[in-house]
Each structure stands twice: as C-alpha cells, then as structure tokens.
C-alpha cells in the first residue's frame, strides 16, 4: 500500500513560500499563527500520520531532534502526547518543571529561552499567563509551541478539529455549540471559528464571557447566549470544559452555583442534530459540566479526541521543523 506523502499546495511551492517563510523560525502560540490553508495542511497531515500508525508503519523524520517541554501547569495528555509523539518521529523529549529548573527560582523566562534555544530544537510550554509564552518566543531562536495558557489552548483545538473532520467531514459552514465557561478553550473555539469558517454559539453564565476582543473579531460567526438549549439547537458539535480550570480551584463552589444550569445533559444533546458529536478536552467531572449519559454515550467522541492530541501535535512539530516533510517511508 502506498504510504501518505506530505506536500504543500501547488501555489505555495511555486511562490517559494517554503524557502522564504517556513524555514524561518515559526511559533505556534495561537491558531492565528497558522494561515487557514496551513491549518488545513496540519489537520490533513495529522490524519495521514494516524493512518500510518494504525497500519503499523514507521516514520521517523526527526532523528536527533530534541523537544524541551516546560510544564508550569501539570498535565496528563499534553505530556504523554508530546513525549510519545516526538519519540515516534525519531526524536526525544526532555521534561522540565519549575521544581527542577531555575525558572522555579526566579530566572527570567527570557534568559531561559536564550539558553534552551542553544540546546534543543523545539520548545513546548504549558503555563498560566499567556504573556510568559509570548516573552519566551520573542527570545527563542527555535520554534515555540503553546501547550496551554490561561488565554488559549491551540493544540487541543487541532485535536478537536481533527476529530470532527474524521467523524463528520468538513467543519466549514457547520454549527458548534460551546456550553459552560468562557475560558481558554472557549477562546480557542472563537479563533477556530474564524480560521475554519463555522458558526459558533456560546452559552455562558453572566460574568464568564470569553475574551471581548475575540468576540469582536468573530463577529458574524458567533452568537453569545444564556440558554444552553438554544445554543445546542441543530448543532453539529457540542463541546464543554470543566467549570473550574486549573488555578481557579478556590472558586469551585461559587462556579458550581453559577454554572448549575450549564451541564451538558441528554436533554441538551437532544436539541442538537441526530448525528451531532460531543467533545470534552478532559479531565471531565461527570455530574458537573457533563452528565455521564453524555460523555459515556453514543455521541461522545472524547476518547478519539484525546488520542488525536498525539497525531495533531506530531503533524505540528513536523511542520514547524521541516516545513515540507519528506515522503513517508
């Protein structure tokens, strides 16, 4: 069977795009760091790499490459998917936390960026303030990937988009319902709506709205609602996240009261299209933001979504380091 081959669109090959642009240091701090066309390349490549792995194929285009992973926020899926992904591509990954680096002792992040740039080929950061990732990238000579900040979570959106495409096809022109907190995931869905041209309905409790600037940018593609049933009506995708994100645990009781009417239940899913899917970036709290009958039900695709973190990030790392990848051997 002929293996998948990664090639850029004809217009980019003929324009010299890859020689002039891709070979420069590219960062992925937001979905906006990829053009809509580039985003589609990465999503297509992720599906190709997934098929290759399912078929038992071996593809290691990054021998000797090293990924530095800075975790100021703990994670299961982010760490395993990046570390396993880099190993499968032929490289290696180094786990770094504030407890075992000078970041935990107050070293400026700009200095850390300069140092790591000379030792690794790629850096992934998972942290709290988005400004920290931006400052790191500004002083890094190697690509920097945002593994999550309080502002957005672009790697998760790559997996979410891949999952929808796998199960329901092109997301352009579709309707997505976001129900719950207007958090970093909600902000990321706003960016995805702009990049992928779908309609987004956001049902959020008063005082928990997503980023105001992103709402303005997504005007014409987004509707802000208070009623989750209305948001889910005829939706192709229903998504949610925990009510109290990491770092906001002290607000858990208040948030539980404020979001009491925003749990994704079977009643809400019944408002969506019969073939709608449900996504959750995990970890999930059954009985809080989602009912067990939904996340463990027939419309749930959360386990595919979790696995797709691996494939989407492999495609992203390959893209950032190689641009036009070599044929899969």
* Residues annotated as part of the active site: 126, 153, 156, 241, 281, 309
Phi, then psi, of 184 in degrees rounded to 5: -60, -35
Cis link prior to 283 (omega < 30° from 0)?
yes
The two tokens of residue 6 are 């990664």
Q: How far is 144 from 314, CA to CA, in rounded Å? A: 14
The two tokens of residue 103 are 């970041």
CA 183, 187, 193: angle at the middle one, nearest 5? 145
Q: How far is 187 from 238, CA to CA, in rounded Å? A: 15
The two tokens of residue 94 are 């180094």
Q: How far is 125 from 131, CA to CA, in rounded Å? A: 12
DSSP output for 66-96: EEEEEESS--SHHHHHHHHHHHHTT-EEEEE
CA 262, 268, 272: angle at the middle one, nearest 5? 130
Q: 264 forms bridges with which residues in the sheet?
A: 290
């Amino acid at each position: 069977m002929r293996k998948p081959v990664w090639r850029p669109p004809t217009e980019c090959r003929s324009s010299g795009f890859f020689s002039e642009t891709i070979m420069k240091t590219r960062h992925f701090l937001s979905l906006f760091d990829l053009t809509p066309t580039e985003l589609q390349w990465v999503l297509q490549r992720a599906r190709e790499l997934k098929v290759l792995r399912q078929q038992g194929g071996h593809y290691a285009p990054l021998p000797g490459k090293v990924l530095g992973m800075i975790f100021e926020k703990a994670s299961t899926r982010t760490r395993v998917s990046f570390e396993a992904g880099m190993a499968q591509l032929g490289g290696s990954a180094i786990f770094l936390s504030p407890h075992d680096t000078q970041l935990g002792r107050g070293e400026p992040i700009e200095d850390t960026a300069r140092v790591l740039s000379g030792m690794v080929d790629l850096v992934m950061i998972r942290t709290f303030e988005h400004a920290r990732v931006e400052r790191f990238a500004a002083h890094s000579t190697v690509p920097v990937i945002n593994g999550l900040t309080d502002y957005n979570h672009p790697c998760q959106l790559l997996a979410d988009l891949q999952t929808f495409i796998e199960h329901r096809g092109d997301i352009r022109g579709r309707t997505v319902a976001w129900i719950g907190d207007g958090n970093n995931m909600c902000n990321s869905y706003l960016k995805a709506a702009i990049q992928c041209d779908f309609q987004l309905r956001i049902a959020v409790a008063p005082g928990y709205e997503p980023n105001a600037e992103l709402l303005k940018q997504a005007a014409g593609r987004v509707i802000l609602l208070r009623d989750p049933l209305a948001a889910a009506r005829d939706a192709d995708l229903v998504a949610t996240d925990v009510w109290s994100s990491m770092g906001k645990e002290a607000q858990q009781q208040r948030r539980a009261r404020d979001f009491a009417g925003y749990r994704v239940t079977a009643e809400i899913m019944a408002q969506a299209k019969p073939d709608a899917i449900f996504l959750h970036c995990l970890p999930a709290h059954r009985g809080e933001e989602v009912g067990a009958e939904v996340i463990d039900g027939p419309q749930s695709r959360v386990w595919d979504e979790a696995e797709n973190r691996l494939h989407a990030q492999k495609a992203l790392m390959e893209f950032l380091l190689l641009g036009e990848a070599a044929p899969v051997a």
